[in-house]
Amino acid sequence: MRFLHPDGTTVHLGYCSNVHQAEDLEGVIAQLAAYAEPVRERLGADRLGIGLWLARGVVTELADDEGSLARLKRELGARGLETVTLNAFPYAGFHREVVKKDVYLPDWADEARLKYTLDCARVLAALLPDDVGRGSVSTLPLAWRTPWTPACAEEARHALARLTTGLAALEAWTGRRIRVGFEPEPGCVVETTTQAVRELGGLDPDRLGVCLDACHLAVQFEQPSEALRRLTEAGMPVVKLQASCAVEAAAPADPAARAALRRLAEPRFLHQTRTTSDGDVVGVDDLPEALGGGLPADGGPWRVHFHAPLHTEPEPPLRTTADQLDQVLTGLLGGASAGCDHIEVETYTWSVLPEPPADLPGGIAAELAWARDRLTGLGLKEDPS
């Protein structure tokens, strides 16, 4: 869906396809028919944005075969779908039985990450609608924090310089600007916006910036207004917002809260958990570790990196950080100028909820309707063109 900000900026809203299990082109095309088109129909929208996640093998095929790329673009158009952003954080295997820390591989010290990201940018430049001049690709925030040596950091700096050069060459060739956003995430080399400014400052703001994930921001107990101000002052653009909510236990010692949290401690994805102690943010790498005594339960609330559906609350007494997401949306789009033009609802955890939905398209449509209502409430107008 497209919205017009009062300043004239077109703001794109869609959902991320990493919620669907598909790691070949046939699977990607099948999910457009099985899920994305029904979501669009549920919303009553003529056009729906979908932020594609394309595993390494799919990207290789599309980058090497113009026929396959043209086929995917035709399928998108025929189903009333459009793509202005790719999620290139997971490389492959995102729906294996156990993913955990493997999602951070290869990292930005590995040549494979650079090649994959540039291939994603080339594919996206070809998939962009004819009337859209730029796209975005989100990626991991350099690496998981260990092991990350000075040598790794140096390799990453060289890779980012080559990324900038590659994106500039792509724009000169295609006339389409693709920007890459690094996504701060708990446990990584770049966890917070403060670390983003420190580790990624000085990059070309025309091509590189931040992908701001509202769930991650909340888990790290960052105040949205302060985080956005920090990025603005550093000249770091928010090239993409992932509209997402974390799970919060206001009283983590409560037996009912702990029982509900245990039902979220599933084996596939990593669920970093944070709390505050004496004004500091402290945490552990996964929810089972927190429940096992690794995190104090007698202080502040716990926030869990578990992307919860935007439009509904989890099992009581748990709640979501939807209020934080509201503040991010207001900070980016509630002012005189638009601070971001690509918004992607990224709830990839539907399949690992304690009670997965029988109607996934209905759930995704409800999330997008929630986001649509927030945007129109901020004065944006839905663009039916």
Summarize pLDDT for 193-239 with one digit per residue, the tens: 999 999 999 999 999 999 999 999 999 999 999 999 999 999 999 99
Query: Is 297 part of a structural domain of the chain?
Result: no
Query: Is 267 part of a structural domain of the chain?
Result: no
Query: Is 205 part of a structural domain of the chain?
Result: yes
Summarize pLDDT for 130-153 with one digit per residue, the tens: 999 899 999 999 999 999 999 999
Closest CA to 164 of 198, 121, 108, 208: 208
What's the structural domain count of the chain?
1
Tokens of 225: 């207004």
278 vs 256: which has the higher pLDDT = 256
Q: What is the mean pLDDT of residues 112-119?
A: 98
Closest CA to 218 of 238, 191, 253: 191
Query: Is 306 part of a structural domain of the chain?
Result: no
Q: How many CA atoms lie within 13 A of 242 on its CB side?
A: 34
Q: Does the N-terminal peptide bond of residue 106 adopt cis geometry, omega within 30 degrees of 0?
A: yes
- How many other CB atoms are there within 10 angstroms of residue 4's CB atom? 16
Indicate which CATH number applies to the domain containing 166.
3.20.20.150
Instruction: Work out the pLDDT band at 299, boundaries 50, 70, 90.
Output: confident
Q: How far apart are CA 259 and CA 263, in angstroms?
A: 7
Domain that holds residue 135: 2-245+321-383
DSSP per residue over 312-372, as a string? S--STT-EE-HHHHHHHHHHHHSSSS-S-SEEEE--TTGGGSSS--S-HHHHHHHHHHHHH
Tokens of 375: 């945007």
Across the chain, mean pLDDT equals 97
Query: Is 307 part of a structural domain of the chain?
Result: no
Is pLDDT above 70 for 385? no
